[in-house]
Structure 1
Amino acid sequence: MTFDDLSPDQIRALIEEQAAAYDALRSAGLTLDLTRGKPAPAQLDLSAELLALPGDDFRAADGTDTRNYGGLNGLVELREIFAELLHVPVDQLLAEGNASLELMHDTIVFSMLLGTPDSPRPWAQEDEVVFICPVPGYDRHFALTQKYGIRMVSVEMREDGPDMAAVRELVQDPKVKGMWIVPTYSNPSGAVVSEAVAAELAAMETAAPDFRILWDNAYAVHHLTDERTKSADILGLCAASGHPNRALMYASTSKITFAGAGVAFLASSQENLDWYLANIGKRTIGPDKLNQLRHARYLRDAEGVLALMDKHRQILAPKFDAVLEILESRLGGHDVATWSVPKGGYFINLDVVEGTAARVVQLAKEAGIALTPAGSSFPYGKDPLDRNIRLAPSFPTIEELRAAMEGVATCVLLAAAEKSLG
């Protein structure tokens, strides 16, 4: 029965019922955290063998002594594995440090200070720089662009990618220099950019000659079902459309092996890679090749990565199932929320009654359940409808997760009932 079917007295009775449930929740003394998409300890344990590698044999396949300086491009044996997984040519893929966020940060900073290969001047010398931000989206993307004074404009992230009518209109402004996008199992909605939308992004005419798509393929192999969704070939599409420098693709092993000790990748045109390498060559003499070597030996090949990700799925999928089960059983009959059912990635996107997301998060916090702040999935942390909440099921145990989600459901119902009575 939806709230529209209830009389004011019935809604008041529901508030009393949920308030009692909430008081019990607060009395339980919970300390549960659903804020960030961190791998659980059991997932990190899957790669324990890495800690014993590379052993006494520290030479790469080409004879490189990985203990020494050099090798800005990264080890070819590791690049070959991930070139196959990311569907890019080996020569267009770099293997670097432990975090793809570092590579994205470098891209932004180098563009601001020096300009891109296609820029008439450094971005910092422009009157204004604007980025398109599909929403809901990744809060760290938005924090990075905000840090460097780039104005953000939101467009809707649909099931097959960003609202292209809005994107096409925005790129007619020469101030619009780029856009963020998580193309496969988008953070937080789980959306997947279709080949058709990717082709349109690659081919569209833009007023800025140095327009860039920052294609953060963080979840390319992070499947939650037997279906292994393939990411669109953005580099090939851009090259075929006459815009070879438009896209820069980022990925990492952060949620494949060790989140704090992985390897990050950058794929793009040769001109973009030459630009990037020339710039990072001033701040480093080379990445951690010992870490790259141990990853190459542990993972072995693309199939080795996929086999490892199947083990991750066995840990993660039941957690996602538990969240979806509780959302459906507690909220499905009340028409107070909708949620994504992702086939991969690390998040579930929850939309509650308009104007209540911040209240839900506050109620949850007071009951000992930490949620990502309402609005985090939008630029400047401001959700204009105050309805979006990102759920991160990966880190808690399934028992903790069930307790947390029962509590979240109570908070959603209580906030919705309060709102309905004004």
Structure 2
Amino acid sequence: MKPYKEMSKEELASEIELLRKQYKKYQGMELNLNMARGKPCQEQLDLSMGLMDALTSDADLTCEDGTDCRNYGVLTGIHEAKVLIGDMMENNPDDIIIYGNSSLNVMYDTISRAYSHGIMGNTPWCKLDKVKWLCPVPGYDRHFGITEYFGFEMIPVPMSPTGPDMDMIENLVANDDSIKGIWCVPKYSNPQGYSYSDDTVRRFARLKPAAKDFRIFWDNAYGIHHLYDDKQDYLIEILAECKRAGNPDLVYKFASTSKITFPGSGIAAMATSPNNMKDILETMKHQTIGHDKVNQLRHVRFFRDIHGMVEHMRKQADIIRPKFEAVEQILDEELSGLEIGTWTMPRGGYFISFDALDGCAKEIVGKCKKAGVQMTGAGATWPYGKDPHDSNIRIAPTYPPIDDLKTAAKLFTLCVKLVSANKIYSEMQ
């Protein structure tokens, strides 16, 4: 089929009439499908059921150094867990703090500490007239929710397949000391599935921020979440690169097992410089005597080492890869050549990013909802939930069963066609 914009008014009117009839059929199916969030499906969660057997009531809960995991202590986490997560994050165990179940909570806590008490003796952010934050877009809505909650002014930075616009970032941080940080999902980014190029990572490590307390919040949420064995994105390790660049304290690097084992019962971690760690522990020692060491030990006993974790993720990929490919195939079959949308084809992570014609995203998502398919709200991938182009839509293929997913993807493409055709037709009037 030729592009909608090249159709005559009569051809487009006929196409719209056909699309409306197809849409009414979907409405009559009384669908109730959810593609709103990037959640693991039941089959993925079932892969981790061995966690429940890794420790039993007669198990030895003593660590290699003699720590009894049932008791108080070990503020930064047990050594075995640091080794396991260190291998996952590509960092030295000595540079890692093991936290509770949520890396998002660690990020919130890190900003809250800087807000109330400052970073390394710098003025607490709550005492400043203004705090600004850089936000690569489209990006992760929960990141933006944290900085919005604290009242920061969020500055959108355009993303590309090699990462965020580094010219813009370098210029902004060098000339404005009220810019205190940037959100980054550097590998298989949310939602586009892009991974930062070597040049992008090196330029991040060599930033010269005007603010001494500027920090890169490096959320490596999808570090080992590959979809393919033979097509995997590679990322330069940021802490080592910062150290080489003479900027060892520039980064807080976050990760968790949330989409590896059980999202509500995993372990989260931060890797950072010794100076940053000392600063963090000064506050952390007043917050807790230690996180859940039994859960840390359970993960170590379940995976044994990084090789066990990598094999576990291969099994996860076997479950979700067909879902990504099914959505990509339907998008291609239904929309290619119409020139009404573009989409990413990631090699890992949890999302596909779709860009509709400007001014169409909210209406597309709304039409999907009316026909029984819930998607991430249009605008969610921008600060304050306001996409100035009203074009970006995040597709989350992992959670629904594949047959339901195919139905939802076909309805989605139908809604894209109907909304786009109506827009183009109205512009012809």
Q: Give the TM-score normalised by the residue count of structure 1.
A: 0.98
Q: What SS does the corresponding residue of 1:177 show, helix, strand or coil?
A: strand
Q: 1:136 is matched with which residue: 135, 138, 141?
A: 138
Alpha-carbon displacement from aligned partner over 1:255-312 (angstroms, at most 9, x marks no partner) = 0011110000100001111222221221211110000001001011111110000000
AA at the equivalent of 2:389: L
Letter in 2 for 1:21: Q
2:92 corresponds to: 89
1:343 aligned onto 2:347: yes
Match of residue 191 from structure 2:
188
Equivalent residue for 2:67? 64
Task: Give the aligned partner of residue 394 of structure 2.
Answer: 390
SS at match of 2:100: coil
**1:250 pairs with 244, 247, 254, which one?**
254
- Specify which of 372, 382, 385 is matched with residue 368 of structure 1: 372
Residue in structure 1 matched with residue 3 of structure 2 by the alignment:
2
Query: What CA distance in whole angstroms lies between the structure 1 residues aligned with 2:335 and 2:280?
Result: 48
Q: Indicate the SS of the match to 1:282.
A: helix
> SS in structure 1 opposite 2:217?
strand
Counterparts of 1:95 and 1:257 in 2: how far apart (Å)?
16
Deviation at residue 85 of structure 1 after TM alignment: 2.3
Q: CA deviation at 1:333?
A: 2.3
One of 372, 378, 382 as aligned partner of 2:382: 378
Find the counterpart in structure 1 of residue 305 from structure 2: 301
- Measure the CA separation in 1 of the matches of 2:198 and 2:88: 17
For 2:396 and 2:79, the matched residues in 1 are separated by 34
> Following TM superposition, by how much is the alpha carbon of 1:417 offset from its aligned partner in structure 2, in angstroms?
0.6
Q: Cα RMSD (Å) of the superposition?
A: 0.9
Hey, what's the Cα distance between the residues in 2 that align with 1:3 and 1:230?
Answer: 39
1:137-190 CA-partner distances (Å, limit 9, x unpaired):
000000000001111000111111110111112112111111000000000001
Equivalent-residue separation in structure 1 for 2:7 and 2:417 (angstroms) = 14
Paired residue secondary structure (2:50): helix
C-alpha contact (below 8 Å) 1:222/1:345 kept by paired residues: yes
Residue 221 of structure 1 contacts residue 228 of structure 1 at CA under 8 Å; is this kept in 2? no
**What is the CA–CA distance in structure 1 between the aligned matches of 2:340 and 2:5, rounded to whole Å?**
10
**What secondary structure does 2:111 align onto?**
helix
Structure 2 unaligned residues grouped into runs of 5+: none
Matched, 1:260 2:264: yes
The residue aligned with 1:168 is: 170
Match of 1:25 in 2: 26
Match of 1:415 in 2: 419
* Superimposed CA distance per residue, residues 356-380 of structure 1 (whole angstroms, 9 cap, x where no aligned partner): 0000011001001001010100000
**Distance (whole Å) between structure 2 residues aligned to residue 202 and residue 300 of structure 1:** 33
The CA deviation at 1:20 is 0.6
Question: Which amino acid counterpart does residue 34 of structure 1 have in structure 2?
Answer: M
Does the Cα contact within 8 Å between 1:86 and 1:231 map onto a contact in 2?
Answer: no
| Counterpart in the other structure of 1:115 | 118
The farther-off stretch of 54-63 and 214-223 is 54-63
C-alpha separation between the residues in 2 aligned to 1:355 and 1:388?
Answer: 10
**Residue 105 (str. 1) matches residue 108 (str. 2):** yes
Match of 1:282 among 276, 279, 286: 286
> Could you tell me how far apart the structure 2 residues matched to 1:262 and 1:61 are?
21
CA distance in 2, matches of 1:306, 1:11: 50
Return the offset for 1:52.
Answer: 1.6
Further displaced range: 247-256 or 220-229: 220-229
Secondary structure class of the residue paired with 2:270: strand
Q: Give 1:53 deviation, angstroms.
A: 2.4
Q: CA deviation at 1:250?
A: 0.3
Distance across 1 between alignment mates of 2:236 and 2:382? 24
Q: Is 1:213 matched up with 2:216?
A: yes
Percent identity over the alignment is 42
How big is the shift at 1:228? 3.5
CA distance in 1, matches of 2:264, 2:87: 24
Instruction: Report matched runs for 1:68-79 at 5 Å.
Output: 68-79=71-82
SS in 1 for 2:44: helix
Partner of 1:224: 227
- SS, match of residue 399 in structure 1: helix
SS at 1:39 equivalent: coil
Q: How does 1:196-207 map to 2 (within 5 A)?
A: 196-207=199-210
Asked if the contact 1:364/1:411 (under 8 Å) is kept, the reply is yes
Structure 2 counterpart of 1:125? 127
Other-structure match for 1:405: 409
Provide the aligned length of Structure 1 versus Structure 2.
421
What is the alpha-carbon distance in structure 1 between the residues aligned to residue 61 and residue 375 of structure 2? 44
Cα distance in structure 1, aligned partners of 2:71 and 2:47: 29
CA distance in structure 2 between the aligned counterparts of 1:349 and 1:260, rounded to whole angstroms? 26
Aligned 8 A contact 1:97 1:287 in 2: yes
Question: C-alpha separation between the residues in 2 aligned to 1:412 and 1:108?
Answer: 39
| Aligned amino acid, residue 14 of structure 2 | A
> Distance in 2 between the 1:296 and 1:229 partners?
26
